[in-house]
Amino acid sequence: MTSITTARERIVSVADRILNERGTDRVTIREILRESEQHNMSAIKYYFGDKEGLLRAVFRRRRLTLNAARRDRLDQLEADGRGAEVRALIEAVVLPVADRLRNAPPQADYARFAARMTPRIDYTSGDVANLDPADQRIIKALRVALSELPETVVDDRVDTAFNMIVGVLAAYESRRDEGLEYGPASLDVLSKTLIDMVTAGLCAADSAGTQLVEPGAHDLAEKA
């Protein structure tokens, strides 16, 4: 007899595989259940509540894999004496996702799925215990490296950086999916440029109090 845990894990595992092969919007719940050898359509409701619950479980599974890749990279960076550098920490965020994209099937929407799910993660909390261990290490190290900036500025930038990264990689994936040859010439060039840019963005001087020429864009938007 299949245990509840095994059946649930099997559904998540199959969903992860076929969503990655075909893309999230190209797979039905019925297909996931059939390939999981689950004959009861209510299995999704029973184990996950609804389709979103299943997608959260798939995202959790993918984060575990990503966590392992980031952990290995962080260990190597520390062995190389680079574990406290902002740039090295951003490499540890970007490169494992880029590796995943490099090896993904043509229809995969790994980065777009990540961009859709990442906003649900709270990178600004003082208590990072709910994050994956590698992300905890990255965020704690970024907070130390950027400690000359006000704490709220650091929190906002770190949170924004994670969403920037998945947003840009999702755009890359979308172009690849549609055969558009726009943007950086390769995934490697994109990754390097993204690392340069996010590192610079995190390390920028705090401009709080800087007065821009402020025509009042919000007012303009209201009038438009």
Nearest residue to 105 via CA among 43, 155, 177: 177
Q: Degrees (nearest 5) of the Cα angle 51, 56, 57? A: 95
- Closest distance to other proteins from the beta carbon of 222 (Å): 6
* Residue among 39 and 223 whose Cβ is closer to other proteins: 223
Binding flags for other proteins, 67-86, as an x/- string (CB under 8 A)? --------------------
Q: Where are the alpha helices (DSSP H) in the chain?
A: 4-22, 29-35, 43-48, 51-79, 86-102, 110-117, 133-145, 151-178, 187-203, 217-223
Q: Enumerate residues 32-51 that contact other proteins by CB under 8 A.
A: none
Residues 184 and 176 sit within 8 Å (Cβ to Cβ): no
29: contact with other proteins by CB under 8 A: no
| Chosen residue from 88, 179, 199, 211 binding other proteins by CB under 8 A | 199
- Closest distance to other proteins from the beta carbon of 173 (Å): 9
DSSP 141-194: HHHHHTTTS-HHHHHHHHHHHHHHHHHHHHHHHHHHHHT---SSSSHHHHHHHH
d(CA 223, CA 176): 38
The two structure tokens encoding residue 183 = 């943007």
Size of the site for other proteins (CB under 8 A): 56
Instruction: Determine the interface stretch with other proteins among 65-73, 91-99, 132-140, 208-216 (rule: CB under 8 A).
Output: 208-216
Binding flags for other proteins, 158-197, as an x/- string (CB under 8 A)? -xxx-xx-xxx-xxx-xx--x-x-xxx----xx--xx-xx
* Residue among 75 and 167 whose Cβ is closer to other proteins: 167
Give me the phi and psi of 185, to 5 degrees please.
-70, -20
- Closest distance to other proteins from the beta carbon of 108 (Å): 15
d(CA 147, CA 96): 26
Q: Enumerate residues 110-139 that contact other proteins by CB under 8 A.
A: 115-116, 118-120, 122-125
Interface positions with other proteins (CB under 8 A)? 115-116, 118-120, 122-125, 153, 156-157, 159-161, 163-164, 166-168, 170-172, 174-175, 178, 180, 182-184, 189-190, 193-194, 196-204, 206-208, 212-213, 215, 217-218, 220-224
